[in-house]
Amino acid sequence: MSSKPFIILGKEIPEGKRTVLDLEVAKLHTRTTVKVPVIIERSKKPGPVVLLLAGIHGDETNGVGIIREIISQKINIPITGTIICIPVFNIFGYLIQTREFPDGRDLNRMFPGSANGSLASQFANQFTKEIAPHVDYVIDFHTGGGKRDNIAQIRCNKDDEKALELAKVFNPPMIVFSENITKSLRETLHKMGKTILLFEGGKSIELNPTIINEGVNGTKNVLIRLGLIEGELTVKETPIFVHKAKWLRASHSGMFKVTTTNGSFVKKKEVLGIIQDPFGDFKKKIYAPFDGHIFCINKTPIVNKGEALFHISIEE
């Protein structure tokens, strides 16, 4: 007995085959069509449909690197079910290495989108209608914005039991509980009944081997647990859970020197960094206000007063 046809973007995806489709975004002012490659691997046996997506912000290249490695290592070829890879979602931003869509909007604040809205809204709407209904699970790969460097982590809603279970299977160094952001891809997929993990790791405009390795191994774990591929789970230490957190902000403007390590546990009054002037006259130490784990550090060399510098967990 054959399984029912799997049709996406108007094309029927054959069993046991690799299919590459194009999600058309728009045309450039030169009339050149911009297309987003959608790589689909469907096994001959029915099973879950998993979407691996990166580059919703065009300058977040670590996620692109993760999916590239997953495809290169053939981890995306399932023995059951279907694996869809979209390595570069915001192709516009990726081409010029910027976070935003050409209309200046953050694509991850435009979901579910509108057929008659802005360019970003129309693209979000196309994804929400053409691809999202066909998937069961999603891993959405992100990095810290700008110079903010994230330790490898999975973000999920603490009340989403299925997502939390898979976050533990992913086995990142940290699992950060965070609410879904209004009009984000994560919120839209959650409302559609999909199980979604949001991976954060590294910073924008970099290819960090450690972060990419964390992303590949974690994704492989999830695919093994869901039965799409064979293999043994890679389990390191138990992830650190972050229930509450606070940003430590610069008390002064100046040159910023980091003296702690991302992912480390720090004690109250421990020196985390120093703000100083370029003339050798001024130096201000940044102290931890409480015990906690550092899971994001702003790596910018020059900071202004009030700028977010360290994201630190608040221990219960």
pLDDT at 27: 74
Average pLDDT of the residues in 24-51: 90
Average pLDDT of the residues in 112-119: 93
Nearest in space to 201 (alpha carbons), one of 188, 185, 217: 217
Question: CA-to-CA distance for 111 and 185, rounded, in angstroms?
Answer: 6
Rama region for 206: left / alpha / beta (φ>0; ψ in -120 to 50; rest)? beta
Average pLDDT of the residues in 78-105: 94
Question: How many other C-beta atoms lie within 10 A of the C-beta of residue 10?
Answer: 7
pLDDT at 25: 81
Q: Is residue 3 pLDDT above 70, yes or no? A: no
Average pLDDT of the residues in 85-92: 96
DSSP-assigned letter for residue 213: H
Question: CA-to-CA distance for 233 and 123, rounded, in angstroms?
Answer: 36
- Do 150 and 202 touch, CB atoms closer than 8 A? yes
Q: Is residue 2 pLDDT above 80, yes or no? A: no
Rama region for 302: left / alpha / beta (φ>0; ψ in -120 to 50; rest)? beta
pLDDT for 194-209, tens place per residue?
999 999 999 999 999 9
Q: Is residue 4 pLDDT above 80, yes or no? A: no
Question: Cα angle at 106 between 256 and 134, to 5 degrees?
Answer: 125
Tokens of 283: 């130096």
| Residue recorded with tokens 């160094």 | 173
pLDDT at 32: 78
- Do 301 and 268 touch, CB atoms closer than 8 A? no
Q: Is residue 49 pLDDT above 50, yes or no? A: yes
Average pLDDT, the chain: 95
CB contact set of 29 (below 8 Å; sequence gap of 6+): none
State yes or no: cis peptide before 289, omega within 30 of 0.
Answer: no
pLDDT for 236-265, tens place per residue?
889 999 999 999 999 999 999 999 999 999
Question: CA-to-CA distance for 63 and 65, rounded, in angstroms?
Answer: 5
Tokens of 8: 């996406």
Q: Is residue 161 pLDDT above 50, yes or no? A: yes
CB contact set of 173 (below 8 Å; sequence gap of 6+): 151, 152, 153, 214, 236, 237, 239, 240, 263
- Do 236 and 171 touch, CB atoms closer than 8 A? yes
pLDDT at 238: 93
- Do 301 and 255 touch, CB atoms closer than 8 A? yes
Q: How far apart are the first and last CA of the chain?
A: 54
Q: What are phi and psi of 102, to 5 degrees?
A: -60, -25
Per DSSP, what are the bridge partners of residue 86?
Answer: 53
Question: CA-to-CA distance for 169 and 242, rounded, in angstroms?
Answer: 17
pTM to 2 decimals?
Answer: 0.95
pLDDT at 103: 87
pLDDT at 1: 37
User: Lowest-confidence range among 2-11, 15-24, 138-147, 213-222?
Assistant: 2-11
Average pLDDT of the residues in 155-160: 92
Question: CA-to-CA distance for 102 and 119, rounded, in angstroms?
Answer: 8
